[in-house]
Amino acid sequence: MGPLIPQGIITGEWDFVIALLLGIAFGFILEASGFSSSRNIAGVFYGYNFVVLRVFLTAVLVAMIGLLYFDYMGWIEMDLVYVLPTYLSSMVLGSVIMGLGFVLGGFCPGTSYTAIAIGKIDAMVFTGGLFLGIFLFSEAFPWISDFYYSDNLGSVTISEVLGISNELFTFIMVVMGLVAFWGTWLIEKKVRKTIKHYKFE
């Protein structure tokens, strides 16, 4: 049955309508999860709040299990699902840059817009820097395009790189997720106890 547009079940004209509805739902979930607060997001790096990790890891696991189930039931053609090409070097560098911005600003691009929607000034400043970065990247792209497209691994998944089945990789991710949930709960408990101790000393 799915994906709907590649199989012609609905036309490509629905692209932006679906994207708009998903964007609204995504923004609502981010705000409901407390992602409009830079303190909640930065808490991951300081060990007192792992809500970001838990929400996004839960979303990833639900999506992975859902896709496997849909594929098993014949509701989706996995060969037609678009997989972003992997350009290893530029993606690693981009991850480092985004990670630094995450730590320094307390937002990622999506959460900054969620915070702007409720009037957060720090998110507005952060997003201004985001647009500046996009502009500088666009202007510099002719000079860095060779690096950007270097180490092209094609449209591969992690399970393909590791040489294991999607089912086994999903199972490994679920186990890692459960361990992460338990481990971050212990870290939060210890860090908050330490913070509380120093507050009252």
Which residues 6+ apart lie within 8 Å of 201 measured at CB? none
Work out the burial of residue 37: count CB atoms within 10 Å of its CB; fewer than 13 is exposed, 13-18 middle, 19 or more buried.
Answer: buried
pLDDT, residue 197, reads 55
pLDDT average per 10 residues of sequence, the chain (201 residues): 74 84 88 83 81 88 92 86 90 90 84 89 91 93 93 91 92 94 88 63 51
10: left (phi over 0), alpha (psi -120 to 50) or beta: beta
DSSP string, 83-99: ---EEHHHHHHHHHHHH
* 8 A C-beta contact, residue 191 and residue 46: yes
The pTM assigned to this predicted structure is: 0.80
Nearest to 125 by CA among 137, 110, 115, 140: 115
Give domain limits for the chain: 1-81+167-201, 84-155
